DNA sequence: GTTCGCTGTGGTACTAAGTACCAAAAGGAA
DNA sequence: TTCCTTTTGGTACTTAGTACCACAGCGAAC
């Protein structure tokens, strides 16, 4: 059986995330202390910091899996190496849209999450950092596939730009995100995908 | 004469920035306390926080002026309203390049600054936030000029993408930044500028 | 030049994040 | 049971950031 220890850890982690989101939804990010989260999750304060490097990290708890999903999606697309920016962008389009679909799947969670970011500058910063990480990973996939570095770096950054633009235009509406991001790509590279 | 008070404040501010950069260059961002900066600048700790909202802000002390410079540059370009993304990007190209020139003017300072950002994730985050602010301002200028919102938002984000890509490709070399960013624009919109 | 008002200063005291360390609890294997 | 290893939670400490307050120094009016 899969280690009782592992299951316990998994459970503790979930309890912390639940407790944190409940409290953040009630009172916002700044007005909740780590001690309170720990109490509500029935763990020690020390334990909180063992699971999450800092208070902000808990907000992005379930985003770890997204990166792997995304790179997986991108890798699965085949091995045609793009030599120019527009072609590379067409290859990235589907992956970015898949990401949008994934994060808006749980609509309520998406809204709470976006509002937290909107209201808390540090969280917004952190979110952007994480997106940059994703972008650099995607850039790596392109390079592995034979796309020249200058092209890959630019294409990845532009794809991120489309995402940001779509997000801004969609506001907090989870049902509009995919459409707006797709429209942004369309404005850049035209109608055809991939 | 321009208020003795104003001059004193200006001087205090400069002393804080000098002290901070000297200490950061010696020991890195994390290993310097605000108290130390304040002591070296011969002001109280309280005063430090009166001039800079937090420890990170002092790193970006001289970037306030850049935003105004940039919007000024952009506004001065005249009143032709771009209706599509590529045209809008051509209009933004010069402004972004001007920004690049401005920040690499003092080469030593640029290198120290970039290295601080590289080594200190929180500073990198903050830097990206500031760039996003700039981007949104530029977006506003385009909109004011008659460019449709969806186009302006996207164009501004893409220009930011070109900047990021160029920066990544240039590494820490201040002499390459302008060239790399310009090359990024060229890959996207072709040779002609404006 | 003295007095009055205002702005800016720096000190004290407090809260909360994050770190280091340690002793004890609990799972896993013998 | 016994022993080893992982995980826990508590204590104590440092530092960022905030609130508050008494005081100093500039500027203006008399």
Over chain A (194 residues), what is each successive 10-residue block's mean pLDDT? 80 96 95 97 97 97 85 81 94 95 93 93 92 93 95 98 97 96 95 58
Residue B170 has pLDDT above 70, yes or no: yes
Average pLDDT, rounded, for chain B: 92
CA–CA gap between residue B155 and residue A100 (Å, rounded): 20
- Chain A residue with Cα closest to B150: A169
Give the pTM.
0.91
Task: Check CB contact under 8 Å for A169 and B183.
Answer: no
CA–CA gap between residue A83 and residue B12 (Å, rounded): 53
Q: Measure A153 CA to nearest chain B CA, in Å.
A: 6
pLDDT, tens only, B86-117: 999 999 999 999 999 999 999 999 999 999 99
Task: Check CB contact under 8 Å for A121 and B129.
Answer: yes
Q: What is residue B4's predicted lDDT score, i.e. its pLDDT?
A: 67
User: Which of B158, B131, B125 is CA-nearest to residue A121?
Assistant: B125
User: Which of A54, A41, A45 is CA-nearest to residue A14?
Assistant: A41
Q: Which nucleotide is nearest to B52 (CA to C1')?
A: D17
Helix, strand, or coil here: B156?
Answer: helix
- Name the residue closest to the C1' of D15 by its CA: B33
Centre a 10 Å sphere on the Cβ of residue A168 and count the other Cβ atoms it contains.
Answer: 20
Note whether B85 and A90 are within 8 A (CB): no
Residue B189 has pLDDT above 60, yes or no: yes
CA–CA gap between residue A100 and residue A113 (Å, rounded): 14
Q: How far is the CA of B19 from the C1' of C14 (A)?
A: 27
For tokens 């409940």, what's the residue?
Answer: A22
Q: What is residue B78's predicted lDDT score, i.e. its pLDDT?
A: 72
Of residues A61 and B78, the one with the higher pLDDT is A61
For residues B163-176, average pLDDT: 96
Q: Measure A135 CA to nearest chain B CA, in Å.
A: 11
For residues B144-165, average pLDDT: 97
Task: Check CB contact under 8 Å for A121 and B132.
Answer: no
For residues B10-36, average pLDDT: 96
Task: Check CB contact under 8 Å for A128 and B126.
Answer: no
Note whether B63 and B105 are within 8 A (CB): no
CA–CA gap between residue A83 and residue B158 (Å, rounded): 19
Q: What is residue B2's predicted lDDT score, i.e. its pLDDT?
A: 55
Which chain A residues are closer than 8 Å to B150 by Cβ?
Answer: 165, 169, 183-184, 187
């Amino acid at each position: 059986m899969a280690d009782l220890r592992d299951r316990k850890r998994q459970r503790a982690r979930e309890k912390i995330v639940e407790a944190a989101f409940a409290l953040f939804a009630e009172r916002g990010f700044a007005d909740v202390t780590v001690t309170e989260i720990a109490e509500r999750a029935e763990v020690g304060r020390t334990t909180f910091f063992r699971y999450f490097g800092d208070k902000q990290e808990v907000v992005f708890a379930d985003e770890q899996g997204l990166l792997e999903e995304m790179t997986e999606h991108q890798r699965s697309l085949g091995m045609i190496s793009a030599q120019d920016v527009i072609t590379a962008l067409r290859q990235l389009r589907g992956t970015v849209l898949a990401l949008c679909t994934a994060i808006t799947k749980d609509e309520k969670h998406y809204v709470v999450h976006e509002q937290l970011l909107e209201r808390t500058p540090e969280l917004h910063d952190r979110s952007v950092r994480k997106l940059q990480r994703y972008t650099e990973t995607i850039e790596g996939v392109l390079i592995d596939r034979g796309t020249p570095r200058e092209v890959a770096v630019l294409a990845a950054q532009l794809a991120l730009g489309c995402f940001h633009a779509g997000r801004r235009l969609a506001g907090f509406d989870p049902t509009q995100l995919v459409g707006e991001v797709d429209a942004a790509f369309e404005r850049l590279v035209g109608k055809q995908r991939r």
